[in-house]
Homo-oligomer: A and B are copies of this chain.
Amino acid sequence: TMDYSTNDSKSTSKNKVVAVVGGGLVGALNACYFAKRGFQVEVFESREDIREAKIVKGRSINLALSHRGRQALKQVGMEDTIVSKGIPMHSRMIHSLNGTQSPIPYGKKGQVTLLMQRLDTPHSAETYSTTKLNFAHKLLNWSTETGAMTFLRADGAKEEIQADLIVGCDGAFSAIRKQFLRQSRFNFSQTYIPHGYLELTMPPINGEFAMKPNYLHIWPRNTFMMIALPNLDKTFTCTLFMPFDEFENVTTGDQVIEFFQKYFPDTIPLIGADALKRDYFRLPAQAMVSVKCSPYHLSDKCVLMGDAAHAVVPFYGQGMNAGFEDCLVFNEIMDQLNEDFSAVLPEYTRVRVPDDHAIADLAMYNYVEMRSHVNSKWFLFRKYVDNTLHMIMPRTVIPLYTMVTFTRIRYHEAVKRWHWQDKVRHYIVHSSLYKGL
């Protein structure tokens, strides 16, 4: 029933201003999407140019890029450049207490997750002539009625702009989202998990990685766990996840060594006892939050994407991928509804909320699974059954991890199929056991 053609809407988009708040990964990718459609795009970032910022020791961010994220990058021609800078990971490597290491592949051969240290999406955004990046711009005020926005610049001056659409990509503690909270019937939750995290560095040995690269190394220890991820400079970043109250029990260098002797003895020579004693106390343990909300839009002038809409805990490696897929899904709806914001925004909420809530829940589920089940023979046996079923019936039975990481099956559909498959698997596992498999 839309009576204007795509051409018409493309020509009107040229006069429209899209203000993207937040110049991080999702904000910059979104800028590319809107610029490609011909909108005037203004990106506002409160920090200084984030490309010039150094990677902070102890708060490095390792970014897992998998199928959904890559598809979103591909659509705006950014996939190849970015993929070339990633480290491919094809397996987990489980470190048991006695030092043995067992690999568990993520999927079939060729199905890899790319580990990125940073992604220069802002650079790509800048290649569009209609896009302007405004760093050190702090959002002071905005109105979803009029689209008027006021920013405070680093030089103390105020800058005002008039936006046709405000896109909030300003992260887990989004300023844009705060105005949503004042509206009636806005559902919102923020849940901190009892675990904090702390980062340690494992240096190269003779210029080479100290452990096998291309693996996500995991030391599952039930109530806590450590993981290690490779960096381009041949170091590993080790991240210890532990309940805050257990962090509080370790207060001296000697206690650190004692703790590592007990639970991660194989890592002490690799990290180095002195570095361990020092780096453990470099920063306090960091908190992790899961944020869910609904709706994602306010009137026809404002929409939330990425962590601003759904911060997830980092245990499924889907945070960045879900944020990138937000841009892709929004773009698909823009096509379907001819860039009519008053139709696109509610549709985006309708389509995307159940998927983002599903991945937030899955990440929380994996927070438990990674620490405990990954270790057990029962879990390995179930993975084996999953993979075997997938081999026999590749279209019918797809392991959950594969659906989430290597396909674009909607997150909430993946969860649904998983529950169904779980029943089938349960039946097969139990009849196998009876048959004495």
Contact = CB atoms under 8 A, between A and B. Distances in A.
A188 B287 CA distance: 15
A259 interface: no
Nearest to A192: B185
Contacts of A186: 190, 192
A191 B187 contact: yes
Contacts of A190: 181, 186-189
Interface in A153-193: 181, 184-192
A294 to B, nearest CB: 9
A189 B189 contact: yes
Nearest to A178: B181
Contact of A189 (B184, B185, B188, B287): B188
A191 B190 CA distance: 12
Nearest to A196: B185
B185 A188 contact: no
Contacts of A191: 187, 189
Nearest to A288: B185
Contacts of A287: 184-185
A190 B293 CA distance: 9
A366 to B, nearest CB: 20
A382 to B, nearest CB: 28
Interface string A185-226: 111111110000000000000000000000000000000000
A184 B32 CA distance: 33
A241 to B, nearest CB: 15
A184 B284 CA distance: 13
A150 B191 CA distance: 31
Contacts of A187: 190-192
A314 B340 CA distance: 39
A190 B190 CA distance: 9
Contacts of A181: 190
Nearest to A290: B187
Contacts of A184: 192, 287
Nearest to A190: B188
Nearest to A292: B189
A374 to B, nearest CB: 26
Interface string A321-362: 000000000000000000000000000000000000000000
A113 B375 CA distance: 53
- Which one of A181, A185, A189, A287 has the highest number of Cβ atoms from chain B below 10 Å of its Cβ? A185
A136 to B, nearest CB: 22
A189 B189 CA distance: 4
Contacts of A189: 188-191
A217 to B, nearest CB: 28
A114 to B, nearest CB: 31
A197 to B, nearest CB: 13
A192 B184 CA distance: 8
A191 B357 CA distance: 14
Nearest to A182: B173
Interface in A253-301: 287
A181 to B, nearest CB: 8
Interface in A26-48: none
A10 to B, nearest CB: 34
Nearest to A189: B189
A330 to B, nearest CB: 24
Interface of A: 181, 184-192, 287
Given A181-B190, A185-B192, A188-B190, 9 more contacts: A184-B192, A184-B287, A185-B287, A186-B192, A187-B190, A187-B191, A187-B192, A188-B188, A188-B189
8 contacts: A181-B190, A185-B192, A187-B190, A188-B188, A188-B189, A188-B190, A189-B190, A189-B191
- The 6 lowest CB-CB distance pairs between A and B, nearest first, are A189-B189, A185-B192, A184-B287, A185-B287, A187-B191, A188-B190
